[in-house]
Amino acid sequence: MSATPTLEIRNLHIGIDGKPILKGLSLVVNKGEIHALMGPNGSGKSTLANALMGNPKYEVTDGQILYKGEDVLELSPDERARKGIFLAFQYPTAIPGVSVANFLRQALAVRRKEMGEEKPLPPKEFRALVKEKMALLKMDESFAGRYLNDGFSGGEKKRAEILQMAVLRPEIAVLDETDSGLDIDALRIVSEGVNALTGPDLGVLLITHYQRILNYIKPHFVHVLVDGRIVKSGGAELALELEKQGYDWIREDQAA
């Protein structure tokens, strides 16, 4: 009997204000795998990311989202996060008055409780953990005392998201256009951080419009989303083909 997938999306249909966006999307992501989901603007990529975390703006009209065999559609976003699903936002929100360290401390305490650890990490161990992960992401230690995303550059916001991922240790990480708005140096540093975190305990769904981030983060699988459906899947070479030929090649292939 085959093992239960970490994340399984079955025949997912989603609409916004009555307009269908996803039209029967199915996908399986297991721990230890990196999946890249590519597609033109308006194809439904960010809709999927938001639906996976339970954004109420997105109405699921059919299908299932199963996490370790459990249908999470009835769970709130914070319940999904506690269980180990993580979303790195395309446009992270600023939280003035809440430091990066305090945010991480509270989030980690909740995540640990879900994992059976009733007590928060002792302050000394927590500081050592954050320091270690910040070094991994080439972040200055003073970053921990700044208010979360308040006045951050695009690169700092994305690094703060990856820092959260490093500290919280989710089992599924959805990275929604993490490469948007990054210069080449920030892209490389963020990508190196993601690469350092990937391994047998983490499954990654990397949502992107461009191939360039895949020069740094090597996917095991590439899926092409067009008009709310996955129309083609393959290995890393598929992303290179898209870079050369564009999405019209896929559309023409479908129409043939």
Query: Distance between CA 18 and CA 61 in Å, rounded?
Result: 10
**DSSP label at 238?**
H
What is the per-residue pLDDT across 110-125, written as a single tens digit (0 to 9) for each? 999 988 887 889 999 9
Percent of the chain at pLDDT > 90 equals: 69
Q: What is the pTM of this model?
A: 0.92
Identify which of 146, 202, 149, 145 has the alpha carbon closest to the alpha carbon of residue 175. 202
> Is residue 39 pLDDT above 50, yes or no?
yes
pLDDT for residue 250: 75
pLDDT for residue 117: 86
pLDDT grade, residue 90 (50/70/90)?
A: confident
pLDDT for residue 212: 87
Q: In the 3-class helix/strand/coil scheme, how is 72-90 assigned residue by residue?
A: CCCCCHHHHHHHCEEEECC
Judge whether 222 and 250 are in contact, CB under 8 Å.
no
> Is residue 253 pLDDT above 80, yes or no?
no
Domain 7-255 has CATH 3.40.50.300: yes
pLDDT for residue 1: 44
pLDDT grade, residue 155 (50/70/90)?
A: confident
226-255 mean pLDDT: 84
Identify which of 22, 26, 18 has the alpha carbon closest to the alpha carbon of residue 45. 22
151-173 mean pLDDT: 92
pLDDT for residue 244: 86
Query: Distance between CA 175 and CA 182 in Å, rounded?
Result: 14
The DSSP bridge partners found for residue 28 are 8
**Other beta carbons less than 10 A from residue 225's beta carbon:** 24
- For residue 54, the surrounding DSSP H or E stretch is none
Could you tell me the residue ranges of all domains in the chain?
7-255
pLDDT for residue 151: 93
Identify which of 183, 168, 51, 26 has the alpha carbon closest to the alpha carbon of residue 105. 168
